[in-house]
Amino acid sequence: MMVYRMRLIFGEVTLSQVKTILGPTRKCYTTSSANAVFIEDLHFVPATDSATTDDIRRLQEFLHASKRLLVITGAGVSTESGLPDYRSVKSPQHGKDRPVIGPVMYQDFVKNTRVRRGNWARNYVGWPGFSSHLPNVSHRALVDWERRGKLHWLVTQNVDDLHRKAGSTRMTELHGSAFRAVCLSCRNVVPRAELQQVIAAMNPHWEAVPFEIRPDADVALTPEQIEGFRAPHCGNCGGPLKPDMVYFGECVPKDTVQLVFEKLEESDSVLVAGSSLQVYSAFRFVSAAHKQNKPVAILNIGPTRADRLAGLKINGRCGDVLTKINI
């Protein structure tokens, strides 16, 4: 499901009419320009109650007390741009369980050419849709916080480049980016958009239609569909290429971890937005903040691994809550 984005002139179509047309799975909101309406696709956002007035007040107080805020974001921010995540098991639009998605393991990708070929085939098919998604109100809110001096550093587990598209600059992509590919042999980095054209030239007669959208530029293809596909290689040394993101079973680079710990040391509080923190790579920073007696707030749909460490936990949708905060 793609993000739908429209600009409508009030007087021709009213906001209430747009909401009626779109139904419950897409969110309408206005910008500072009085004649613009933007629509976010909530297809993959789990159903949840709205945050209470008291929740908003407490988060407002938490943020007012913070002078150097570190924010950690996860897939719960990007689902509001129409991207699926790994952990939500229900699609609100269809009201049925989604299949459990098994991610590619790092060692399998490195050692098994068949796994590598299949991963690149799915990535190639999924790239046009994945790369076209746009930032939503949560991404834009965090950019505004950065520009106003509230947000000291942003740490995202997402590889979708949406924070950067929105304008964030003080940030670390903890798990890398799907918008780059890296050679496993010489470490040469290739922009993913350029690589798409290279792969197309290598596979002029190959095509496949996916039957499911998956996270991280992935789609679902059958083994039969993958037959005949040629995986890309490094133009510098001929070695195997890998999307420049941390796969399951792979370690986050030590220099990246060290940088985030340094930014945490400089910060006075931590806000987690849209992450269950089930992966240790992000949880460790919340745990460290707790040990340093730094206030922690969590905004997420459903429980997280760090709920017991947070002084404030809000169960709600990021876009619904962050747009109600005044900085």
Tell which residue, 56, 92, 78, 82, has the closest CA to residue 323.
Answer: 56
DSSP-based three-state secondary structure for 138: helix
Tell which residue, 45, 119, 122, has the closest CA to residue 84.
Answer: 45
What does the alpha-carbon distance between residue 218 and residue 287 come to, in Å, rounded to a whole number? 31
What does the alpha-carbon distance between residue 118 and residue 122 come to, in Å, rounded to a whole number? 6
CA distance to 5, 110, 262, per residue, from 82 (Å): 11, 30, 33
DSSP 160-205: S-HHHHHT--SEEETTEEEEEEEETTT--EEEHHHHHHHHHHH-TT
Within 10 A of 116 (CB to CB), how many other CB atoms are there? 20
DSSP 63-113: HHH-SSEEEEE-HHHHGGGT---SS--EETTTTEEPPPP-PPBHHHHHH-H
175 given a catalytic annotation: yes
**Residue 264 phi, psi dihedral angles, 5° rounding:** -65, -40
Q: Of 175, 205, 233, 290, which residue is the catalytic one? A: 175
**Residue 190 phi, psi dihedral angles, 5° rounding:** -125, 130
In the chain, how many H helices and how many E strands? 12, 13
Within 10 A of 122 (CB to CB), how many other CB atoms are there? 23
To the question of whether residue 318 is assigned a binding role by annotation, the answer is: no
What does the alpha-carbon distance between residue 64 and residue 163 come to, in Å, rounded to a whole number? 23
To the question of whether residue 251 is assigned a binding role by annotation, the answer is: no
DSSP-based three-state secondary structure for 154: strand
The binding site consists of: 183, 186, 234, 237
The binding site for Zn(2+) consists of: 183, 186, 234, 237
Catalytic residues: 175
